[in-house]
Amino acid sequence: MSSMYIILTSIIAAAGLCRIFYWLIYPGGHRPVTKASLKHIPELRFQDDNSKNRYLNDTRTLLLLGYDKYLKHGTAFQMHNPVGELGPQVMLPMKYLDEVKNAPLSLFSFQAFSEKMFFLNYIDAPYQTEAATHVIKIDLNRNLNNLVHGTWKEAIAVLDENIPANAEWTSFDTYDLISKVASQVSAFALVGPELCRNKEWLKLAIETTFTIFGAANAVRDNYSPRLRWLARFWNEAPKQLRNGRAKAAELLKPIYADRLNAVKAKKSGGDGDSSPSKFADTVYWLLGNKEADRTLAGIAEQELFLTTASVHTTSGTLQSVLFDWLAHPEYHAEVIAEARQVMAEPGATADGEYHWSMQLVAKLWKLDSFMKESSRMHPIGFITGQRYALKPHTFKDGLHIPAGTIFQFPADAVHHDPDIYPEPHKFDGHRFLRLRETVDPNRFHFASVSDSSLNFGAGAHSCPGRFLATLNVKLVMLLLITRYEVKFEDDNITQRPDDTFHDFNRRSDPSIRILARRKQLK
């Protein structure tokens, strides 16, 4: 064997190892952008305390400043990224939104953004698939009317289980109660009636959500950028998530078998118990999707992803709307009156219980307006349209961003722009009701998206699950205001407690407790 051959073989082997380590350190294959590559975009910093903690706890202040100074005038700016190895992040003005909305996924990717910002590749988190997105966007949304009554019954079941049937007030950790409710009502559409009340599944749903978000912070805080690839081997979270996958597959196994038989029967023209109408859940629809990983492990993976996304969004939104409801009793009488009027309509009751339809839910304009105003003022996130540039791109006006750029748009700042929303810092529960009555009855509802209503994203890439989230929040709120009584545990609280902030996220104060009881028949 010649020495030249040995040298060439060694070089090739070394190059291969370099590629492996490069992939481990930079999953996705792109080097991070640098300030030098973004030098044409102005940088915005805190003038006094520009520390890491300031960015984690006070980012909203900088975003609002940047909106007034740059974005509102059509200029992008860059700012520090808490995930430092990814380089600066760019905030884009709204004039670029249409280009981003219409760009192909091969250019700008939300999935790549999520993987990199939340270290999903490092912690072995459940991953998003095109098949799961399609199932939510098409199959689930098409079947909401088949789900609404069952969702209502699940909401009653979980609330009745937790709130005693007596006249005494019971104290609750607000998020604990809300997350239990959100998990069960979401599970009805995701895994069906057989599993949506299963305590092991519901526990897994909540724990997986917390594990993913906690793991992202742990990786960011405890591993240097070049050693983060070790987290999947050393950190406890990946082990917990792998165990969660195994548990999910175990719990899903009988449901998987039933749905798979139904899909096969449908394809062969079968009928009877395996008729297509028997099942209305994402397990069934995923198994009928040719692009999905239809193995038991694949279905478990996708269900954990959908569960995590659903529980997080629904819980945060529901708690926020509830806090605004308790802080604004001036709206209670008219919203409850509207609800009771709709519930008294012909067809709303059968067999001694309410039978909701999407048509009836759509008539709750006052509740919908209240919820949308709550979401405008107190969103669970400050930004929208988050993307990772997979390729370099030059926008129509000449702005260039290199491959590897992380960018987003300023949803919260837009929602507090006085030129768009008069008196933006005042809670106006009728704001969107007036817009629907005077401008367009089909716009300005809670799930609608536009260039001035951005909490659910924008365009074709807006959140496909927003209609289910809206339905879940609305039905639970209906119950909390008609079947139960709720108030802050501390009688001294007369306005909404201040929210807490972390990075680009906003959360209702987790220390605030509530009291609840069943309404007593008079």
Q: Are 415 and 377 in contact (CB under 8 A)?
A: yes
Q: Which amino acid is at 77?
A: F
Q: What are the DSSP E strand ranges found in 448-498?
A: 484-488
* Residue corresponding to tokens 């709550």: 374
Return the beta strands (E) in 271-391 as ranges.
349-350, 353-354, 384-389
The residue among 191, 485, 180 whose CA lies nearest residue 322 is 485
**Other C-beta atoms lying within 10 Å of the C-beta of residue 358:** 13
Cβ atoms of 192 and 281 closer than 8 Å: yes
Cα 449 from Cα 5, distance rounded (Å):
62
Angle at 121 (CA atoms; ends 116, 125), nearest 5 degrees: 110
Whats the size of the chain, residue-wise?
A: 522
Asked if 214 and 222 count as a contact pair (C-beta separation under 8 A), the reply is no
**Cα→Cα distances 171→36, 84, 400, Å:** 55, 42, 54
Look at residues 262, 254, 232 and name the one whose alpha carbon lies nearest to residue 300.
Answer: 254
Answer for the pair 62, 413: CB distance below 8 angstroms, yes or no: no
User: Is residue 33 a contact partner of residue 402, using CB atoms and an 8 Å limit?
Assistant: yes
18 belongs to an annotated ligand binding site: no
Main-chain dihedrals φ then ψ at residue 74, nearest 5 degrees? 85, 15
Return binding residues.
463
Return binding residues for heme.
463
